Amino acid sequence: MKRQVYLSMKSLEEAREIFFTRFDPGQRTGVETVDAGESAGRVTAEPVFARRSAPSYHCSAMDGIAVRAELTYGTTEREPKILKLGRDAVWVNTGQPLPGAFDAVIMVEKVHQIDENTLEIRSPAYPWQHVRKVGEDIVATQLLFPQNHVVRPYDVGALISGGVFSVRVWEQPRVAIIPTGSELLCHRDMGEDERLEEGRIIEYNSLVLAALVRQYRALPRVYDIVQDREDEIRSALTRAVESDAHLVIINAGSSAGTRDYTVHLIREMGEVLVHGVAMMPGKPTILGVVNQKPVVGNPGYAVSSTLSFDQFIRPLLCNLQGFPAPGPRTLLVQPTRDIPSKVGTEEFLRVNIGKVGDRYVATPLARAAGSITSLTRAEGILRIPAMSEGVGQDQETEAELIVEEEELKGTVVIIGSHDITIDILGDEIRRTGKNIRISSGNVGSLGGLLALRRGRCHMAGSHLLDTSTGEYNVSYIRRYVKGIRVSVFHLTLREQGLMVIKGNPKGIRGIEDLAGKDISFVNRQAGSGTRVLFDHYLKQAGISPEAVMGYGHEEFTHMAVAVDVLSGAADAGMGIYAAARALGLDFIPVAREQYDLIIPTAMLDQPNIQAVLETIRSGHFRERIFSLGGYDPSRSGELFMEVN
């Protein structure tokens, strides 16, 4: 075998582009179903929706007595009230179902037992005091997790609580690891105190690679050590690419020596995409394709092997499972001495990092590619660009930390009015493969505008009606977001109305029926667009808020209002049609309103913001929203106007 030569060595960026372009970034492993109890660490292959509400019954949140709240009104320290057990009160423990006739719990500490059947209380209870209502934690049909979500340990509890006992997840990629080298010896074949024969090396790269594979939720399959003979390596590679492995790694034999057969065999059996990458350590890396599977010729030196894994194998394993490879967490450091570097090769230099005074300093460790301890001792890595001659000791530069996991990035914070479409947006943007998480805070439309003004969010969701003009949001933006130029984008038109129990037993026909009758109402919080709309129609009907029983009973989301109606805590509540439909309630239309996203104009060039806008303009997103019922997303993502 002739010595191989790096005829066309690629830069790291070129090599990554060639390799990852060959394999569709949207390509995934297969889908399998796993028991929810065993799903921690797996990645969801489809959105997961709750199958049942939790709690599924009204239950006591405290140890104490269950009572009818109205019977306790007027109770004071000076005028205590006597209750009869069985008739007026029942002892309950935390988590115990609330007896049907009762609607509140008084803590045991607030109860004085006079005798076996008689209790005394010195303060009143209010309806649903110390009671966990149906759906307080989870509401049936709500989105628990979007697809491409890594299931965490506490997510398992949410799955089981929400009635989801099995989960569809991406299969874990299977990685065949073939260690090669006639000088290698498996550690299992020798004792700890046995003298190592000269010229022999204990093989550990395959074990390091296997551990890295597991770290990224894949399944390694380490082959027996293969001798440096062409026929043996060919046989092992043939077995690997014909197996069910998704990826094959051949460790060592990728350099330019006379016994480095890997590149020759990959070319013979498939295609070599790259042989030689301008990175140090890691230069001998081979990237190829055999039997439509990626094959990586991984360098034999320990540091080269791990850095090559980090640049080429790790991203591929993450992509196959639908979650992004975590990026580096960087820190500005100043070298303790000048660090020269070879022009034309990007260098990964391991460093110790410490804080001296008010700055971080970096001390270089051994450059040797075979020095595994330069990784075990390092706190960070300096990446010296290919066209740089090095880093001076007076020059600040970035170090990639390797001692901590990176904090979450790519979060878009949306604060304001609650809407189900925001949940769908969170799933849809992940479905497209973008590493963006939607974080939503339901504080009402006005609260969203105030958060935007204070710089606490990327965008606000609002549907505030100006009752004097019939226009949505603009006058409120001018009043509450002064001095900040914002862009208003349509999200959807939606149907607002009264949600009532199936069959509408109280015969409610509209808002005018809420006054002067035995009808209890559940309201939205002050400052929400729904509250503004409801107050507007109350005024139009000539009804005072005091005339509506339950006007002060507030919830913060449409689904919470729907749950109150479903559970009997209220006879009617104002909300959107989609919430009523989700829980099987009847719906009495009241108005069609405009729900917008308000974004500071200065943020529009940010990639995450652009990704959100692209998503809500997409046909797939609009189809999903339309299918919920009560929505018209035909203008979703359209710029309505700029304000201020």
Q: 440-455: per-residue pLDDT in tens?
A: 777 789 988 988 887 8
Query: Highest mean pLDDT: which of 259-268, 323-332, 402-411, 624-633?
Result: 624-633
User: Which has the higher per-residue pLDDT, 358 or 159?
Assistant: 159
The Cα 29–Cα 574 span in angstroms is 45
Which phi and psi angles does 224 have, rounded to 5°? -65, 155
**pLDDT at site 259:** 59
**pLDDT at site 294:** 96
The Cα 42–Cα 170 span in angstroms is 7
CATH topology for the 31-54+137-170 domain: Molybdopterin biosynthesis moea protein, domain 2 (3.90.105)
**pLDDT at site 489:** 97
The Cα 21–Cα 202 span in angstroms is 36
Q: For the beta carbon of residue 523, count every other beta carbon within 10 angstroms.
A: 23
Kindly tell me if the per-residue pLDDT of 414 is higher than 90.
no
Kindly tell me if the per-residue pLDDT of 281 is higher than 60.
yes
**What is the mean pLDDT of the segment spanning 39-68?**
95
For the record, the structure tokens of 81 come out as 């009230």
The Cα 558–Cα 574 span in angstroms is 8
Which residues of the chain does CATH 2.170.190.11 include? 59-132
- SS3 state of residue 354: strand
pTM listed for this prediction:
0.75
Which residues of the chain does CATH 3.90.105.10 include? 31-54+137-170
Compute the radius of gyration of the chain from its Cα atoms.
Answer: 32
Which residues of the chain does CATH 2.40.340.10 include? 329-401
Q: For the beta carbon of residue 198, count every other beta carbon within 10 angstroms.
A: 5
**What is the mean pLDDT of the segment spanning 481-485?**
93
**pLDDT at site 636:** 96
**What is the mean pLDDT of the segment spanning 52-79?**
95
**H/E run at residue 264:** helix 262-269
Task: Tell me yes or no: is domain 329-401 CATH 3.30.2130.30.
Answer: no
**What is the mean pLDDT of the segment spanning 7-26?**
86
Which of 99, 97, 94, 95 is closest to 67 using CA atoms? 99
Average pLDDT in the chain: 89
Q: Given the structure tokens 């330019």, which residue do they identify?
A: 256
Kindly tell me if the per-residue pLDDT of 269 is higher than 90.
yes
Question: To 10 degrees, what angle do helices 230-242 and 262-269 make?
Answer: 50
User: Which has the higher per-residue pLDDT, 199 or 180?
Assistant: 180
**pLDDT at site 473:** 94
- In single-letter form, the type of residue at position 554 comes to E
Kindly tell me if the per-residue pLDDT of 407 is higher than 50.
no
**pLDDT at site 11:** 92
Task: Tell me yes or no: is domain 411-643 CATH 3.40.50.800.
Answer: no
Q: For the beta carbon of residue 115, count every other beta carbon within 10 angstroms.
A: 7
Q: Sorting pLDDT into bands at 50, 70 and 90, what band is 408?
A: very low
Question: To 10 degrees, what angle do helices 607-617 and 619-628 make?
Answer: 60
CA separation (Å) from 238 to 227, 232, 293, 477, 603? 15, 10, 12, 66, 52
Kindly tell me if the per-residue pLDDT of 149 is higher than 80.
yes
Per DSSP (E only), the strands in 291-402 are 293-298, 329-335, 339-340, 346-356, 359-364, 380-384, 390-391, 397-401
Top-level class of domain 12-27+173-321: alpha beta
**pLDDT at site 411:** 76
What do you get for the CA distance between the two ends of the chain, in Å?
73
Residues linked to residue 296 through DSSP beta bridges, in sequence order:
249, 287
For the record, the structure tokens of 281 come out as 């350590």
The Cα 321–Cα 173 span in angstroms is 7
Kindly tell me if the per-residue pLDDT of 390 is higher than 80.
yes
Q: Sorting pLDDT into bands at 50, 70 and 90, what band is 357?
A: low
| Domain spanning 59-132, CATH architecture | Beta Complex (2.170)
What's the burial of 468, exposed, middle or buried (CB within 10 Å: 0-12/13-18/19+)?
A: exposed
Which of 107, 297, 114, 301 is closest to 203 using CA atoms? 301
Kindly tell me if the per-residue pLDDT of 394 is higher than 70.
yes
Contact 447, 416 (CB under 8 A): yes
**pLDDT at site 355:** 64
**What is the mean pLDDT of the segment spanning 10-27?**
89
What's the burial of 33, exposed, middle or buried (CB within 10 Å: 0-12/13-18/19+)?
A: exposed
- SS3 state of residue 372: coil
What are the counts of helices (DSSP H) followed by strands (DSSP E) for the chain?
17, 40
pLDDT over 70, % of the chain? 96
> Among the listed ranges 104-108, 231-235, 348-352, 540-544, which one has the minimum average pLDDT value?
348-352
**Predicted confidence (pLDDT) per residue in 79-135, tens digit:** 999 999 999 999 999 999 999 889 999 999 999 999 999 999 999 999 999 999 999
**pLDDT at site 257:** 52
Contact 209, 251 (CB under 8 A): yes
